[in-house]
Amino acid sequence: MGLRYGIFLLIVYVISVQSAFAQAEKTDLTIGKLIERVIRYNSDISISIDNLKIANLKYRETLADNAPTLTLDETGYEVSKSIDALTNKFEFGLEYSQNLPTSGSLGLGLENDFTLRLVDGQDPSFRQHPSISLRWRQPVFVNGKFIDMDVFAAEKQKAELDRKKTQETTEETTNSVIQNALFSFFDVIDKRNDATYRSDRLEWHGQDLRNLEKRRDLKLITATKVWEKKLEIGDLEEELYTLRLELQESEKNLAHHLGLVDLSGLRLNSELPIIESQILLSDLSKKVLDRNPSVVKEEIALKTAGLDIIIDDLDYASTLEAELSFTPRYASGITYAPTFQKSFSQFVESDADFDLTLSLLLTIPLIDGGKRSLERERNQLSERITYQKLQSHQQLALQDLELTIQKRDNLLEKVNLLLDHVQLNKKQLEIQEKLFELKQIIAQDVESVKLDLANRENKLWRANADLLVATLDLYSIAGENLSQFLKSLYK
C-alpha cells in the first residue's frame, strides 16, 4: 500500500513539474507586445505599407519626369558601294531635354553625319556634317490663359495628394487592425475567464446535485428536485460547450491577427494600461475635422478634383513650337577633307560658311465635337459631388465621435457600478466565511459566494477592457496613431 502511494505521489510530482516547465516556456503577451507583433506580422498592415511604398515611388517618378534627360539617338551606320568607291556613313545624335514650369519643354540637340569615302587607288577622304539645334515647345491658350503657370504646379501637387491619400489609408488600416486585434485579445481572455467560471459553477452544481440525492435518499425531498437540478446542469453544460466553440473561433481570429497558427506558445496577460479618464472633448472635435481619416481623404479628393479641372484642359491646348538650328558648312566647292582632322578644321576656315534656320509652328485644334467643354462640365460636377461627400463625412465623423463619447461615459458608469458590486461581494464573502467558522452554513455556501465574486471581477475586467477600446475609438476617430499612443502607455 505504501509503495503504491509513493508511486502515485511520484507521478503527480512529474506531471506538476512538466506543467510548470510548459508554463515557463510560454511567452507573456501583453498589450504592448501584442501591438508590436500585429504591426510586424499582420498581412493587412504589410499590404498597406507596401502600397504606401508604391505611392512614394510613383511620387518620385512624377518628380523624375521633370528632371533633365539626355538621350543618345539617331545613331546608325550605312554603307554603299559604287564601281570604284566604298562610302561608310556614321550617324550620331545627342538630345538634352528639360521640362519647364510653364508645362513646356526646352531641348538642345546635337547631330552629326560622318562619312568615310574609300576610292580605289586614292587616299581616304572624310566629311563631317554637324548640326546644333535649340527647340522650344509650349502649350498655349490653356484655361483661358496664353500660358498657364498653374498646370505644372497642379501636376506635382496631385502626385503629392495621391501619396498623402495612400498614407492616410495605411494609417487607417493600421488603426483598424490594432482595434480588431485588441478586441480579439480581450474577447479571448473574457471567454477563457467565463469558461473557467462556468466550469467551476458546474462543479458546484454537481456537488449540489449529490447533496440533493442524499436528501432524496433520506426522504427529505422528492425526486422532482433531483431531476430539476439535472436538467439545470444539462443546460449549463450545453452553454459551456457553446462557449468553448466560440472560444476556439476567437482564438483562431487572434492567432490570425498575430500571424500565428494557434496561441499554444503564448500566455495572455490581462493587465490593462491606465488611461486618463478626462479627455478634452473640444480638442477631439477640432481634430476630427482636421485629421479624421475619412474626412482627410475626402478633402484630398476635393483638392484632386479641382486640380483635374486645371490639368485636363492641357489636352485641348494649342501648341507653339520654335526651333533654331545652326549648321556649319565647308567652303564652296569642298565636299571632302583629305584627313580626319581637316574634316573638322575646315569649318573654321575663312571661306567656310554656315546655315542658320529659325522655324515656328503653331498647332490649333479647331473642332473637338464639344468634348473640351463636356469634360470641363463633368469635372466641375465631380468637384461639386466631392464637396457634398466631404460635408457628409464631416457630419458623420462628428456624430460618430458623439456616440462614442456617450458609449464611453456609459462604460465609466458601468465600471463604477461593478466596482461597488465587487466590494459588496467581498464583504458578503467575509460574512459567509465567519458564518462558516461558526458552523451556521456549509462550505458550499461559501464557495457559491466566491464564484459570484469571481464572476463579477471578470465582468469588471471586461468593462475596463471595453472602456479602453472605446477610448481608443475616440482617438482613432480623431486621427491619432493608435500604435504610438499605446506604446506611450508602456514607457
Instruction: Report the amino acid identity of residue 126.
Output: F
Q: Which fold has domain 22-59+154-307+376-489?
A: Outer membrane efflux proteins (OEP) (1.20.1600)
Short-list 112, 110, 109, CA closest to 129: 112
Measure Cα distances from 306 to 65, 149, 164, 302 in Å.
22, 15, 16, 6
Region class of 114: left (phi > 0), else alpha (psi between -120 and 50), else beta: beta
CB distance 483 to 476 below 8 Å: no
Tell me the domain boundaries of the chain: 22-59+154-307+376-489, 71-145+318-369
> Which pLDDT score, from 0 to 100, does residue 279 have?
57
Short-list 173, 178, 471, 208, CA closest to 294: 173
> Which pLDDT score, from 0 to 100, does residue 59 have?
92
Cell matching residue 29: 503577451
> Which pLDDT score, from 0 to 100, does residue 273 have?
85
pLDDT beneath 70: ranges in the chain: 1-25, 74, 276-282, 490-491
Q: In which residue are the cell numbers 483635374 written? A: 308
Q: In whole angstroms, what is the distance from residue 398 CA to residue 49 CA?
A: 28
Q: In which residue are the cell numbers 472560444 written? A: 247
> Which pLDDT score, from 0 to 100, does residue 94 have?
92
Which DSSP helix (H) or strand (E) runs through 252?
helix 223-258
Q: In whole angstroms, what is the distance from residue 208 CA to residue 229 CA?
A: 8
> Which pLDDT score, from 0 to 100, does residue 298 have?
95
> Which pLDDT score, from 0 to 100, does residue 21 have?
40
Q: In which residue are the cell numbers 464573502 written? A: 429
323-335 pLDDT, tens per residue? Answer: 999 999 888 878 8
Global pTM value: 0.77
DSSP conformational letter for 142: B
Provide the strand spans (E) within 220-371.
266-268, 318-329, 353-363
Q: In whole angstroms, what is the distance from residue 61 CA to residue 65 CA?
A: 6
Q: In whole angstroms, what is the distance from residue 422 CA to residue 417 CA?
A: 9
74-126 pLDDT, tens per residue? Answer: 678 888 888 788 889 999 899 999 999 999 999 999 999 999 989 888 889 99
Query: Within 13 A of 283's CA, how many CA atoms are on the CB side?
Result: 6
> Which pLDDT score, from 0 to 100, does residue 15 have?
45
Which DSSP helix (H) or strand (E) runs through 130?
strand 125-140
